[in-house]
Structure 1
Amino acid sequence: MKKTTLYLFSIFLFISINLYADEYAVVANKNMKELSHGEIKAIFLKKIAFINDVQVVPINLKSPNALRDSFEKNILKMSRPRLKSYWTKQHYQGHRPPMIMNSQKSIKAFINKVDGAISYMDVKNIDESLKVLYRWSE
């Protein structure tokens, strides 16, 4: 009896955690080709400027923001201090960090109007006008 109860509790806990896990995605407009995790990272570090002759425009959310923190940790694989140091060095080489927007709503509107725009959003805010390129969860 105890093993069955423990087993059922474990399953319930696993399902509960997964139901409440935050799920995010890197998105672009429908014209963007599929991208690998490495290509997405390179775009946001401004190492790739064009995809199929279209200039890419990476967009970050304003900091501090939990979604941006998750993106930097899980996609860029960089801490905030390391990323700040990276952009300080890039600044002296004439490179600027991605543009910043205040909300996912403004990001969605921008992506729908600008070819090559790419950003990240909470999956709950994604509709059929956007193309999901990569997903992750916390």
Structure 2
Amino acid sequence: MKKYLFLIIFIISVVEAKEYAVVVQKGFANISVGKIKAIYLKKLKYHGDTKLVPINLGSQNSVRRSFEKKVLKIKHSRLKSYWIKQHYLGQRPPITLKSEAAVNAFVKKVFGAIGYLEAAKADKDLKIIYKWSD
């Protein structure tokens, strides 16, 4: 009986796992996950001659929480402390938008913008440079 219960829980967790994506404009070069992290911590501000514009979702958004955990590999509380320290050094955190639709629209309009969202919601005109799942 315990075997079946475990199997059912496993199947449900696999079925409910969502896939997420980091997106840029189609003409933009591929970027490694290490560079994505550096961009979001504002340690990397240019890629070639292109000024990078990282876009965040709101701090309580589940996609953002997954991004922080799986891509940045930083707990939310630690990231918050990081940005408090950076504020006193004159650095601002990435721009925050309210929705994944807004991320799609912003990244489509601004070359150098980089955002993340559910992979299924990524606009077909954007390029997915990194994927992860819960």
| TM score, norm. by length of structure 2 | 0.90
Residue identity over aligned pairs, in percent, reads 47
Given residue 100 of structure 1, which amino acid in structure 2 is its aligned partner? T
Backbone CA RMSD of aligned residues: 1.9
Given residue 109 of structure 2, which amino acid in structure 1 is its aligned partner? K
Residue in 1 that maps onto 2:90 = 94
Specify the structure having the higher radius of gyration (Cα).
1
Residue in 1 that maps onto 2:30 = 34
How far the C-alpha of 1:15 sits from its partner, in A, is 5.0
Once the two structures are superposed, the pairs formed by residues 1-138 of structure 1 within 5 Å of their partners are 16-138=12-134
Q: Is the 8 A contact 2:104 2:123 kept in 1?
A: no
- For 2:101, what is the secondary structure of its paired residue? helix
Given residue 57 of structure 2, which amino acid in structure 1 is its aligned partner? L
How far the C-alpha of 1:18 sits from its partner, in A, is 2.6
How far the C-alpha of 1:10 sits from its partner, in A, is 7.5
Alpha-carbon distance in 1 for matches of 2:11, 2:114: 32
Alignment deviations for residues 76-122 of structure 1 (CA, whole Å, 9 cap, x no partner): 11111110111111111110000000001011011110000001010
Alpha-carbon distance in 2 for matches of 1:11, 1:85: 40
| Distance verdict in 2 for CA 1:16–1:28, change over 3 Å | same
- For 1:120, what is the secondary structure of its paired residue? strand
Q: How many equivalent residue pairs?
A: 134
Alpha-carbon distance in 2 for matches of 1:95, 1:35: 22
- For 2:59, what is the secondary structure of its paired residue? coil
| TM score, norm. by length of structure 1 | 0.88
Alpha-carbon distance in 2 for matches of 1:11, 1:107: 37
Alpha-carbon distance in 1 for matches of 2:126, 2:8: 33
How far the C-alpha of 1:11 sits from its partner, in A, is 7.2
How far the C-alpha of 1:17 sits from its partner, in A, is 3.2
